[in-house]
Amino acid sequence: MSDTTLINNRYQIEDTLGKGGMAVVYKARDLTLDRNVAIKVLRQKYSIDPAFKEHFQQEAKAAANLSHPNIVTVHDFGFDSEQLFIIMEYVPGSDIKQLKAKQGRFDLKEALMLMEQACAGVGYAHRAGLVHCDIKPQNLLVTPERKLKIVDFGIARALATINPGEKADIVWGSPSYFSPEQAAGLAPSPASDVYSLGVILYEMLTGELPFRAPTPAELARKHRQDLPPSPRELNPNIPPEIEQILLKTLDKEPAARYRTANQLGRVLTAYLQNSLVIEPPQSQVVVITTEEIAETQPYETPVAPAAIPPRANPLDMDWITIGLALLAVIAAGGLIPFFLWVYFVYNPPIRSFDQEMFSLSLAISPGPGYDSNTVWR
């Protein structure tokens, strides 16, 4: 298409941003809303496939409903000049593949912060029930302010509907980042996206892909069967905790990985927040002379440290305290009989009837020497 080409009588082509086997991406101007947009125009052999066209429209609608700061917004889609197109938010900057080509492997903190954003966007799509299916460095766009946005949600799922003769060619569009289950021809899941994110982070930190092979079939076998090289062997500066995270994302079994991109993102966030120093700076030794100390600090008379009292011997006894305690016990013991006497004076014990009669008989009976013949006068 030329710079004068109008798509759908609304979008003016201005520049070519990229080309691939499936589509061409242009920078364009939305003449109606007066803003820059990106247009992906699919090649004609895909656009004329009825099944693909139907599923492409379904996926484009689903992608248009995604509203997240780390996902490229879909504005519009349609069919013009026998070619499908999709209108997206224009994102200035570069993708992860271009950045890696310029700078080599990424700084640890930068890589984790970018991947944290990618997980946020992909995790949002997972919660909405969408799986990306084709996460690769070219689909992770980074602005000059280091804000990451993900593009091409749903395209891979639409491609899965084309005829079997073409399907194999599409599956191998980005084989270096496909999960083992995708390489085996199985349906992808959120854990498949997690695997692809893990491959990208592995490459960002080590500068190498975990698997390389001369043919797609051999590469698929390695994804399914081989263990990736230790990241720390390729880059000793990678912390052991990050290596464990990487190896978990690259597990062959989907159930053994982080279940969603959100879960992986939370792990990366926790590491960034809890690590005191991601990459410790070079230590610096500062020599200060005694003259400099005297010039910068006022003189103070040294104060002798306070004397530390000797520790008390646990076997030493305080005899005064013991004596007072004994006196208290004795005093308490002397008061007990007094209180008992007062109690019984005012509360005499109740006696039985027999005891009362016996006491009465004693009171009225004559004493010793009593003579019954004696008359009292």
Q: How many domains is the chain built from?
A: 2
> Do 16 and 131 have their domain in common?
no
- C-alpha to C-alpha distance for 272 and 242, rounded to whole angstroms: 11
Helix (H) or strand (E) holding 204: helix 190-206
> Do 20 and 104 have their domain in common?
no
- 3-class state of residue 307 by DSSP: coil
> Do 113 and 9 have their domain in common?
no
> Do 209 and 109 have their domain in common?
yes
Residue 15 phi/psi, 5-degree rounding, is: -160, 155
**What's the residue count for the chain?**
377
Quote the pLDDT of residue 331: 60
Does residue 154 sit within a domain?
yes
Q: Catalytic: 134?
A: yes
Domain boundary among 48, 71, 90: 90
The whole domain housing 36 covers 1-90
Does residue 299 sit within a domain?
no
> Do 105 and 84 have their domain in common?
no
Give the model confidence (pLDDT) of 231-258 as tens digits: 999 999 999 999 999 999 999 999 999 9
Domain boundary among 226, 251, 278: 278
> Do 51 and 125 have their domain in common?
no
Give the model confidence (pLDDT) of 282-296 as tens digits: 433 333 333 433 333
> Do 11 and 34 have their domain in common?
yes
Q: Tell me which of 49, 134, 152, 193 is the catalytic residue.
A: 134
> Do 171 and 226 have their domain in common?
yes
Q: Record the tokens describing residue 160, joined without a space.
A: 């899965």
Domain boundary among 228, 255, 278: 278
- C-alpha to C-alpha distance for 276 and 267, rounded to whole angstroms: 16
Strands (E), 45-113: 74-80, 83-89, 94-95
Q: What is the CATH number of the domain that holds 21?
A: 3.30.200.20
Does residue 302 sit within a domain?
no
Phi-psi region of 198 (alpha: psi -120 to 50; beta: other; left: phi over 0): alpha
> Do 82 and 154 have their domain in common?
no
> In this predicted model, which residue has the larger pLDDT, 56 or 360?
56
Give the model confidence (pLDDT) of 173-208 as tens digits: 488 999 999 999 888 899 999 999 999 999 999 999
Mean pLDDT value across the chain: 79
Strands (E), 176-274: none
> Do 101 and 62 have their domain in common?
no
Its pTM stands at 0.69
